[in-house]
Structure formats: structure tokens, C-alpha cells
Amino acid sequence: MNQPRKGSEYAGLSVAIITPLKDNVLDVARLREQVEFQIKAGTTCIVPVGTTGESPTLSHEEHERVISETVQICAGRVKVMAGTGSNSTAEALRLTRWAAKEGADASLQVAPYYNKPTQEGFYQHFKAIAEDVELPICVYNIPGRTGKNIEPETICRLAEISNITMVKEATGSLDQCSQILNSTNLTVLSGDDSLTLPMMSVGAEGVISVVGNLVPEDVIAMLSAAAAGDFIEARRWHHKLFPLCRDMLGLSTNPIPIKTAMRLVGRDCGQLRLPMTQLSKAEEAKLRTTLTTYGLL
């Protein structure tokens, strides 16, 4: 019998939640509604202050408050994987220490962005955080946002560190996903909703999802079917979800489409912060059509 992978307790649906804003400050009441919606749906893990949570435009104090409020609302009912990454190792350490102190269950660590470290720089960055804080760490590899890939060989080195347990794989490369699964004991979670099923076909165990903000039960149905080896049923769900997944990341930059979709379905999470701007009228009309076809409007 195969041994479970490190981090396998995070298999299933993790949702990268939106940071709801009202008059440009955190809307705690709406945050509570979002979290309760996810818990009721059966979501495995809540992921606050990732890219979907507009972390680049939150102050450190706001970032910390979103983590604290999310942990308190969840109250141990579901896991919390706090987004605490940065392109500054010192800043990532500060945020990760805060998350650990506040009771988060794990940390999502995005690859340092913009300054484009060497592979050795990536290794030393994640190693420093893992050795400082005991939380399980999910390495988030998204070169389309960060400007540089964490190569599979570097992920293999990182896998030797005990509390680096997961990879959020958003390279778009099934080969890279396969190489990580083939060479390490890490749990791989999809970082791109439309590629979740293909990745699960080679051994990924779930997703950190954007579209899960809207239809968590449907994503869970696809994941459960795939985990059970019923790829006919999983494929049916994949094709139902695909237009929604495509629009969430294709119409405009995340989280612009998902925040718009939440407003359109009656779960308004407030304004976007600059430099994020609203969808154009044509883009919103297309999104409305997709939501209507899906049955959400």
C-alpha cells in the first residue's frame, strides 16, 4: 500500500477567498459570510490573503488582521492556510510568524516575485522560513505572476525539509507536475482551476481554487469523483465547470472577474483596490452570460 504523501490532509478543496472591502476597509461581516458558506459546503481549507485576496495592495496590518479574523471565524472547524509569502524573506518571516501565533494551520508561500532570485536564492528563502516557523508550508509556484519558475530540481531539494509539505503548482506544465510527484513525497495542489482534473490524473490531490468561491460543492464533486477513480464522472464536472474557470482567469486578471461574479450573484465583496480596475461593460456582459448558462443567474 502506498504511503500517504506529506501534506495529504490538505487533499480536496482549498478556497482562496476574496478580501471583502467596504468603504475601502475590511468588511468582517462579509468575510464571516464567505467563510460560513465554505464550511457549509464541505471545503477542506480556507486560504486568506493570497493573490485572490488582493494581498499585494493590503498593508501589513490589514494582511495580519485578515489572517486573525479568518482563524477566529473558522474556530478549528476547517483548516486555514494563510498567504504569508513575499519577495522579501524578512517580510515573509514576519507574516508567517504572525500566522503561526494566531493559530493558522499552514502557510502558503508564493515564490519571491519581481526580484527573480536564482534557484539557490529560492531554496535559501523557503529554507529560512521553514526553519524559523513550524507551520506546514505550501510552496506556491506561479511563474506567470512572479517572473521565474522554481525548477523541479529546487522543489526536490526543498522537499527534504520536514515541514515543506505541499506545492501549489501553477506553472501550467503537466510535465513539471509529474516530475514533482515522481521525485518527491510532497502533496501537489493545482493552482489553476481549469487544470485541476488533468493534474489529478497524474497524482495531484486537490486544488487551491478561485472558482470555489462561487460553486464549492461542484468543485468538491469533481475532486471526489477523481479521487475515487471515477474519471467519467469527474470529466462531466470538469466540462460543466470549465467555462466558469476559463472566465475567472481569462476575462481579466484575478481577482477582477471573481469579485465581479460575486457581486452579480448577490454576494458583493466590495470594491477592488487600485491598480485593479473593474471589468469593461463587454467583459461583464460575457461574464453574465457564462453565469446565466451555468445556472447561477
> Which one from 6, 10, 123, 140 is the annotated catalytic residue?
140
Q: From 216, 167, 186, select the one nearest 14 (Cα to Cα).
A: 216
Candidate list 6, 79, 148, 168, residue with the active-site label? 168
- Burial string for 166-178 (b: 16+ CB within 10 Å, else e) reads bbbbbbeeeebbb
Q: Which of 95, 118, 123, 117 has the alpha carbon at shortest distance from 108?
A: 95
Q: CA dist 74 to 10, 13, 50, 78, 189, Å?
A: 16, 15, 17, 6, 21
User: In whole angstroms, what is the distance from residue 189 CA to residue 223 CA?
Assistant: 11
Q: How far from the centroid of its chain's Cα atoms is residue 269's Cα?
A: 18
Q: How many CA atoms lie within 13 A of 169 on its CB side?
A: 33
Residue with cell 445556472: 295
How far, in Å, CA of 112 to CA of 257, rounded? 25
Catalytic (active site) residue 101: no
- Kindly tell me the sign of the dihedral angle through the C-alpha atoms of 19, 20, 23, 25: negative
CA–CA separation, 186 vs 79, rounded Å?
18
Give the β-pairing of 106-110 and 25-26.
unpaired
Q: Is 281 a catalytic residue?
A: no
Catalytic residue set: 140, 168
